[in-house]
Structure 1
Amino acid sequence: MSLTLLFAQLLNGLQYGVLLFLLAAGLTLVFGIMSFVNLAHGSLYMLGAYAGAVAYGASGSFVLAVLAAAASALLLGLVLELTVVSRLYRRDHLDHVLATFGLVLFFNELVRLVWGPQPYFVQVPQVLSGTVELLGFSYPSYRFAIIAVGLLVALGSYALIHKTRLGMLIRAGAQNPQMVGALGVNIRLLNALLFGLGAMLAGVAGAMAGPILSVQSGMGEPVLITTLVVIVIGGIGSVSGAFYASLIVGLVDTLGRAFLPMALRQVAERSLADAAGPALASMSVYLLMALVLAWRPQGLFPAHRG
């Protein structure tokens, strides 16, 4: 195993981790503050990817595409919160699951009707089509840009949560939403803002993932499952926990897929090793979640309670 390969996979894991964070940051707050299980979060990611692909094709500007994806997902998130989600807050979690699963099916079929069943392939922006030299190692510029955007969003999220009045209300709501409401805070407006913010970040993640993945119906479900694993590992309601857990899961999954097949080739046939390696890598993420639940049920980096 060369150092170049290891460095490349570490960066790939970091890139995957920051994409997961864009999804996990909003979802963990929605779950932690509103106690709402939103399985449709992956659909917002998918629709953001489609909005970005359409805007990019029409304008030729990837910046406008990301902004269009963010705005579209924000608007859709607010509409969903006002029309569907707000009616379910007082209902059981099973009702949340059934309602949002219905939304998943609806949006998947809507995408097939509007854009067809064939996947969209988005070109990497020309300005980011080259490579970046890091310590004598070449890495794709676009993947490096994803890392940079994810880290900027993480810094912005930290500033929002810890340096603003809205962030103070969010942190207070994560600890004791009933008390915050009793103090006169408009909880309904706060919930709508949180849901919209989470939807916007999901849309940005979808737009950023478009050039490295195929944009297609149903693309949100696999990443949603991994995002839920991130939330469990990091701690429900903790944005910093979502960030650290996203990096951990991204690195575990990426390094496992890259190096487990190589390790298995030492003790098994190449075809068997190549088939079993990625499967074991996927299992390792869930095994990690199980170990965290057994050791620290509240997550590795839970929101501070007081």
Structure 2
Amino acid sequence: MDVIFLFEQLLNGIGYGLMLFLLAAGLTLVFGIMDTLNLAHGSLYMVGAYLAARVHEASSSFLLAIVVAVAATKILALLVELLVMRRLYRRDHLSQVLATIGLIMMADDAVRAIWGPSPIMAPTPAWLSGPVMLFGALPYPSYRLMLIVAGLLVVLGLYLLVNHTRLGMIVRAGASNRRMAELMGVRVDRVFSFVFILGAGLAALAGALMGPISSVQIGMGDAILIPALVVIVIGGIGSVRGAFVAALLVGLIDTAGRAFLPPLLHLMLPPDLAADLASGLASIAMYILMATVLALKPSGLFPARG
């Protein structure tokens, strides 16, 4: 276990954390502003991944695939928001959970009908297929490095939007105190529509970017939704800054657990037991982090609501 391996896993953790942030940012604002729990957010991630993979395969253009995936997913999200979500704003959380679980099932069946039940591997663009040398000694996959750069650019853009524009001020006001924002004349329903579509675009972007390094398959959004919800709870509901910090923490801890625990436990335990124990500990590491944070700060690291 040398310095190069440590640095490589650090970059992997940052990249995974940034993709989690893309998924969690819109979701935490939706929950923070409208108090609406949308479990179907992961399905938008899945749709973005499938669209990008198929468009890239047909056109051989990675950038076109991303643009089409994000745009089409935003249109789909607009329809979902108009036809379904607006009927759930004033309903209780149980109704929201049941309705969005129904949306998940519909999305999975629609994907199965359109693209088939078998997983697919999204192609990696040729210009990002090789490694790059970092610091002259670390060969690192250029595609994973692009994920980090793209994630940081989106974080910067979202920071400027939320903190340095009038629209961002309205979004923060709705997340901090929705009732007061409504009394001050803010059309919170329009704000929610914007945030919902923005979140859908970010989820589709994350799916499109993650496709070439993970299997694109039915239900993939459900698997990544759990870490995204953990990120929201750790960071504080409605807080973009909290989602960013929590996503990096979860990404680093999850990656470190899967990379470092197996060799460490192999030094102390029989191989079979070490492998099983390492897998279990790595899987629950983010939940241990969440429990620790909630024990110290029940509202999360940076709660939006004062």
Q: Name 1:36's counterpart in structure 2.
A: 36
Distance in 1 of aligned mates of 2:134 and 2:272: 34
Q: Name 2:155's counterpart in structure 1.
A: 154
Distance in 2 of aligned mates of 1:28 and 1:159: 17
Distance in 2 of aligned mates of 1:282 and 1:234: 20
On the 8 A contact 1:235/1:242 being kept in 2, the answer is yes
Q: Name 1:8's counterpart in structure 2.
A: 8
Where does 1:103-252 land on structure 2 (aligned, <5 Å)?
A: 103-135=103-135, 136-252=137-253
On the 8 A contact 1:20/1:227 being kept in 2, the answer is yes
Distance in 2 of aligned mates of 1:209 and 1:273: 29
Q: Name 2:84's counterpart in structure 1.
A: 84
C-alpha distance after superposition, 1:244-280 (max 9, x if no partner) = 1100000000001011111111111122212221221
Distance in 1 of aligned mates of 2:280 and 2:124: 29
Q: Name 1:53's counterpart in structure 2.
A: 53
Distance in 2 of aligned mates of 1:184 and 1:15: 40
Check if 1:69 corresponds to 2:85. Answer: no
Distance in 1 of aligned mates of 2:236 and 2:187: 25
Which structure 1 residue ranges, 5 or more long, are not aligned? none
Is the partner of 2:283 in helix, strand or coil?
Answer: helix
Q: Name 1:101's counterpart in structure 2.
A: 101
C-alpha distance after superposition, 1:51-76 (max 9, x if no partner) = 11121112111111111111111111
CA RMSD in angstroms, aligned pairs only: 1.0
On the 8 A contact 1:72/1:203 being kept in 2, the answer is no
Is the partner of 1:210 in helix, strand or coil?
Answer: helix
On the 8 A contact 2:53/2:123 being kept in 1, the answer is no
- How far is 1:304 from its partner? 6.2
Q: Name 2:294's counterpart in structure 1.
A: 293
On the 8 A contact 1:233/1:300 being kept in 2, the answer is yes
Stretches of 4+ aligned residues off by more than 3 angstroms = none
Distance in 1 of aligned mates of 2:200 and 2:219: 17
Check if 1:274 corresponds to 2:272. Answer: no
- How far is 1:44 from its partner? 0.3
On the 8 A contact 2:119/2:217 being kept in 1, the answer is yes
Is the partner of 2:301 in helix, strand or coil?
Answer: coil
Which structure 2 residue ranges, 5 or more long, are not aligned? none
- How far is 1:302 from its partner? 2.0
C-alpha distance after superposition, 1:160-205 (max 9, x if no partner) = 0001110000011011112222222222211111100001100000
Q: Percent identity?
A: 56
Give aligned pairs, total.
Answer: 305
Is the partner of 2:213 in helix, strand or coil?
Answer: coil
